[in-house]
Each structure stands twice: as structure tokens, then as C-alpha cells.
Amino acid sequence: MRALMTKLEQATALDRAGDRLQRAVQATLRPQRVRDLLHGVFLGHPLHPAMVQVPVGAWISAAVVDLLPGQRRAATTLVALGTVSAVPAAVAGLNDWAELSRDQRRVGLVHAAANTVGLTLYAGSLAARLTGRHGVGRALAYLGLGAASAGAYLGGHLAYKQGAQVSQSVSELHRMSNGWQSVAELAGLPQRKLVTREVDDVSVILYRHGDEVTVMLERCPHQSGPLGEGEVQEIGGHACVVCPWHGSAFRLNGGEVVHGPSATDQQVLPTRIVDGTLQTRLP
């Protein structure tokens, strides 16, 4: 299975279809606030994995209920719930997928294809049940569960092996030692400009506003883009750093994500000034 997944990650034959779909998704899912909603910016976590709980739960429950006598109505209701709720979950997933790296998009494409097959089979199952063909409906539902399970396996690979939509910056904290560490002389820091420094080989950005300084991890939580090379923009009355790679924006006064594709906040580190020296430490 591992060898198969490695081949899938490297399957350049998928790129043409993937690139076309990516352009179509990016052209369709607008404006920015719709994309942010679908990424899960308001939650501080990706929305897609939360949304898939409904169809997966309903479909698995239907598979159990289908084994019990006299439960046709309950099974039909569960299949209907799963089928309807899978559509917005798929839209949220496509929105995340369009901002992934190429190797992640290849696996994501097959993940989406498997789930589309599953959804189609469940839609057929629902149609069969509603027209009284419950035996056909059951068979299609079990086939659909097989396809959706293959899709879930690929989704797991995407998240846990390839790190899609997982914070890429938080692991940086594990490389920092405990205790306060000096990062810069306050007097040498320009006002309202990004400055990059290292703490235990971990890159951080400094942003001075008055006598306050924000220290934030530099690696973007989305795909590790260099926030130190990003722009500072005023968004919603707050100074934000905008990632130069895909445009995620984070408040410089707390790290809260305000625009995706990142759905997670950026880590800000505690600070203090001692004898004119800016110090920081692990949160």
C-alpha cells in the first residue's frame, strides 16, 4: 500500500486534469469571504474534516440499520441525510484542495474521485429506496460505503502523511529551548516593518508598533511560506502579515488568521523588554 501511495504522489499523469480542476474551482469559489468560510477561518480549524462527520456517520449508521428487519424508513432517512450533507462537505474539500501543493493535489484528486463515486452510488441508492426497490438500494449503499472508505483512506494519507491543511508552523516550537532568549535591541527595530530573526534556529518575525513588539513564527502554517517576505496590510482595522505564497493573512497583534487558505492561527510568542533588549520564550 505504501508503494502504491508513493506512486500516486508522483503520478504526473494526473496533473493535467488536476490543473484544469484547480482553475475551475478557483474561478468558481468566490469571493474571498466564501473561500474563508469554506476553509474554516472562522473556526480556526479546517472546516472540511468537521463537515464530513455528518455523511460518514449517516452512511455507516445506514449500513448497520440496513441489517435490521423493519428499518427501511430509518435507513432511507440516513442515506438521504448522508447524501445531502456530502455535497457541502465536498465543496469545502475542493476549496482546500485547490490551494495544496502538486503532490498533495494528485492524492487529493483521487480522494475526491473515490468520494464522488461513493456519493453517486448513494444517490442511486436513495433513488432506488424512494421507488420501493430496497434490495437494490441496500446493494448500492454498501458499494458506496466501499468507495467512501477508499476516499477516507486517501484523505487520511493526505492529512497525516502529506500534512495537508495541518499547521506547518507549530512543530517549530519543539525545536526551541525553554526560558527567555534575547532576539534584538529594541532601539534598533524599525517601526511597523517586518524584521526576521532566529531563535534556536527557528525563524521568527518581529513587528514593532510603538514600544510593543510582536514576535511570531515565520513559517506559514499553511504550506511553510516565508511570512518575513510577506507584506503588512491593514485588514479590518488590524495590521496583518500576508503570506507571499497563497495570501493567508494573520493579525500581527495575536496571530489570528483573517484570510485563508490557512485555517489555523499563527503562533505568537510571549515577549518582554529587559534593559532595552527584546526577549522571547516558548508560549
- Give the binding site for ligand FES (CB under 6 A): 220, 222-223, 225, 243, 245-248, 261-262
Minimum CB separation of residue 24 from ligand FES in Å reads 20
Determine how β-strand 249-251 pairs with β-strand 181-185: unpaired
Minimum CB separation of residue 225 from ligand FES in Å reads 3
Q: Is the dihedral of CA 187, 191, 194, 199 positive or negative?
A: positive
Between 41 and 80, CB nearer to ligand FES: 41
- Number of other residues whose CB lies within 10 A of the CB of residue 219: 24
- Number of other residues whose CB lies within 10 A of the CB of residue 2: 8
Minimum CB separation of residue 113 from ligand FES in Å reads 24
- Number of other residues whose CB lies within 10 A of the CB of residue 88: 15
- Contacts of 150 by beta carbon, 8 Å cutoff, 6+ apart: 114
Give the rounded distance of the alpha carbon of 96 from its chain centre: 6
Between 223 and 280, CB nearer to ligand FES: 223
How far apart CA 60 and CA 148 sit, in angstroms, is 10
Cβ atoms of 74 and 65 closer than 8 Å:
yes
Closest C-alpha to 261, from 237, 218, 207, 225:
225
Between 168 and 280, CB nearer to ligand FES: 168
Dihedral angle at the C-alpha atoms of 208, 210, 211, 216, nearest 10 degrees?
Answer: -20
Between 183 and 243, CB nearer to ligand FES: 243
Between 116 and 233, CB nearer to ligand FES: 233
Cell digits of residue 52: 464530513
Q: Which helix (H) or strand (E) segment is 227 a member of?
A: none
Between 83 and 169, CB nearer to ligand FES: 169
Minimum CB separation of residue 262 from ligand FES in Å reads 6
Greatest CA separation found in the chain?
A: 80
How far apart CA 265 and CA 268 sit, in angstroms, is 9
Between 18 and 144, CB nearer to ligand FES: 18
Cell digits of residue 172: 517549530
Closest C-alpha to 259, from 267, 271, 251, 268:
251
Minimum CB separation of residue 265 from ligand FES in Å reads 13
Between 104 and 248, CB nearer to ligand FES: 248
